[in-house]
Every structure is written in structure tokens, then in C-alpha cells.
Amino acid sequence: MATSILEKTKIEFNDEAKRMLEKAMKEDENLHLRRKAAIALFRHGDRDGSVVSSLNEAKVNDPELGNEVTRLLDNLGK
């Protein structure tokens, strides 16, 4: 639940929130949660290779998140 809240918030992350999301993105057993954590990090400016890689993988393999991720990545160059 925390990941979903952090994904939608406009408030800047503190270091603890960012670490929690990074850990969730890399280690959580739930693949959907890992992808949501990557979305949250990306929305808050994290363009690390592991974040973008996770988003690209979700774009191709997750019908539920594919459109959202496509919009995020398409707006990257704008």
C-alpha cells in the first residue's frame, strides 16, 4: 500500500522512502509491486538504469501497467 501512495504523491521523497522503494523494486516477491515501485521512483525523477529497465520490461509484459508506463517513457524526451 505504501508503494501505491508514494507512486501518486507529489511530495518529494525523503531518503528512507527512496530506499524502501528501491528495495521493493529489486527484491519484493510480488512482480507487480516491483513494477509499481519503479513507476514511483521514475515519477519522482529517478532515471537510473535499473528503474528504466524495469519500466521497459513492464511496458512489454504487463498489460495492466503497459499503457501507463508507455506514457511515462514517451514523456521522458519532452
C-alpha 55/C-alpha 38 separation (Å) is 7
- What is the structure's pLDDT at 5? 63
Q: Is the pLDDT of residue 1 over 60?
A: no
pTM for the structure as a whole: 0.85
Residue range(s) defining the domain that contains residue 70: 2-77
Give rounded-to-5 percent helix, strand, coil for the chain: 80, 0, 20
Taking alpha carbons only, the member of 30, 26, 24, 31 closest to residue 3 is: 24
- What is the structure's pLDDT at 6? 67
- What is the structure's pLDDT at 76? 75
Q: Is the pLDDT of residue 78 over 80?
A: no
Number of domains composing the chain: 1
What are the phi and psi torsion angles at 2 (to 5°)? -60, -40
